[in-house]
Amino acid sequence: MSAADFLHRTVLLTEAVDGLAIKPDGCYVDCTYGRGGHSRLILSRLGPAGRLIAFDKDPQAVANARSIADPRFSIVHEPYAAFHSGLDELGVGLVDGVLMDLGVSSPQIDDASRGFSFRFDAPLDMRMDTTRGQTAAEWLATAEQADITEVIRDYGEERFAKQIAGALVAARVENPVVTTGQLSQIVAKAVRTREPGQDPATRTFQAIRIYINRELEELSLTLPQALGRLAAGGRFSVIAFHSLEDRIVKRFMQDAAKADRLPSRLPVRAADIGEAPLKLIGKPVRASQAEVDENPRARSAILRIAERTGAPIPKGMSA
């Protein structure tokens, strides 16, 4: 186990797993294995007949998962958007719970060679799956200025996106932008002001990482798949770390928790209105102050939990 693995702290560990209401003989999916904090706790609550399938596209996470010598556990080296095909290949039908811990993990950020952090000067990679796809440096070398602006504005919610994109395009004429240090310096010169305590490059690094890994697209593709695989009484337990991903989760759960909507004055009995396929469980959960003090990354975490009812899923809500 590396130092990064050892130092990794799983955010909202107990709360997220408690939210699944584990059945000892149930079948569960951890869509984001990471370093296995949630997976190991789920396994500890399963009986001999229980089963856990984990997904992760990061080869280092998959290598860590393969150290779990438990016949009840399977790891799938694919993005969680391969939800249906991954379960099909393992012969799994309906499941009793789905856990998602979204975003980048601490070991990915802390490993300088991955290129996720402006705290280190390293190759500008940013891929969660280093075996495939375009690196951040490769994208920045050819992307149009308008496209760079759009990514930084929409995924980073950066108000200086246009200025940053212009500076990046101008800089690459002289030298390719191939390291995190170069990117950080270019952004720092282009951003005129920044919130106290936040590095000027924070939003730009977030935006490029989300784009390179298709994080929001994969989340939007996976939620309907997971809903379609949840057995009645099965639970969603989803942790988001920024507003863009939380907005997708919140809207999906709220939409799936709405019964048939009819005109307000239509004389229909409540008993005749169809049940919604999901029901929301409790209020959103945030990390305690004690957890935030121990792990500052937990400050932005928000956990949402929902339960599958026995109602059919409306067309277009599952995939």
Residues of the binding site for S-adenosyl-L-methionine: 36-38, 56, 80, 101, 108
Please, which residues have CB within 8 angstroms of residue 242's CB and are 6 or more apart in sequence?
Answer: 103, 206, 300
Q: Is 123 exposed, middle or buried (0-12, 13-18, 19+ CB in 10 A)?
A: middle
Task: Pick out the residues of the known binding site.
Answer: 36-38, 56, 80, 101, 108
Q: Which two tokens stand for residue 128?
A: 């969660």
83 and 229 in contact (C-beta within 8 Å)?
yes
Helix (H) or strand (E) holding 294: helix 289-294
Q: Which two tokens stand for residue 167?
A: 């500076």
Neighbours of 286 (CB within 10 A): 16
Separation of alpha carbons 299 and 19, rounded Å: 19
Separation of alpha carbons 68 and 152, rounded Å: 38
Residue 182: φ, ψ to 5°: -60, -50
